[in-house]
Amino acid sequence: GGDEVSESEGESEEEETRQEEEESFDQIPRTPEESEEESDDEEDQELRLTFRFDERLRSLETSFSEYRQTNPFVDAVSAIPGIVHQYMTQQITDAVREAVQILTDRLQDSLQRENDEFLRNIDENMKKIIKGQ
């Protein structure tokens, strides 16, 4: 009794494997030969089996993973936005620092001229006072 069940399960798994191997060579997915009274879950399962979405997804994930491992440019390309951001941040920082320095220099020059003029006025006024005595 129990041997027959496991034997028939083994046979159905072999049939399924053979059918999947045959389907893997088909370019056009075959429509499963089932009754039209299937539930939505069974139809979904059949669609997944027919179009092999899970298998294709795993294959894509594997291929992408292998591609990332074998292609040295993938990590370099993915690092570019960070490098550009860092570069732009540094450029902006340098530009701001330079602008602040220019404005500081101009202000300092302006204040120095005012101070020089103030000291000249004091000097002239002191000379006038001394002459007037």
Query: Is the domain of 81 the same as that of 123?
Result: yes
pLDDT digits (tens, 9 = 90+) for 78-130: 888 899 999 999 999 999 999 999 999 999 999 999 999 999 999 999 999 99
22 close to 15: Cβ distance less than 8 angstroms: no
Query: Is the domain of 63 the same as that of 108?
Result: no
| Position 93 in a domain | yes
- What SS3 state is found at 30? coil
| Position 88 in a domain | yes
Query: Is the domain of 80 the same as that of 133?
Result: yes
pLDDT digits (tens, 9 = 90+) for 20-49: 555 554 455 555 555 555 557 777 777 667
- Domain tally for the chain? 2
Look at residues 54, 49, 48, 58 and name the one whose alpha carbon lies nearest to residue 23.
49
Degrees to nearest 5, angle at CA 41 with 39 and 44:
110
What gap in Å lies between CA 23 and CA 36, rounded to an integer?
A: 22
* Residue 70 CA, distance from chain mean position: 20
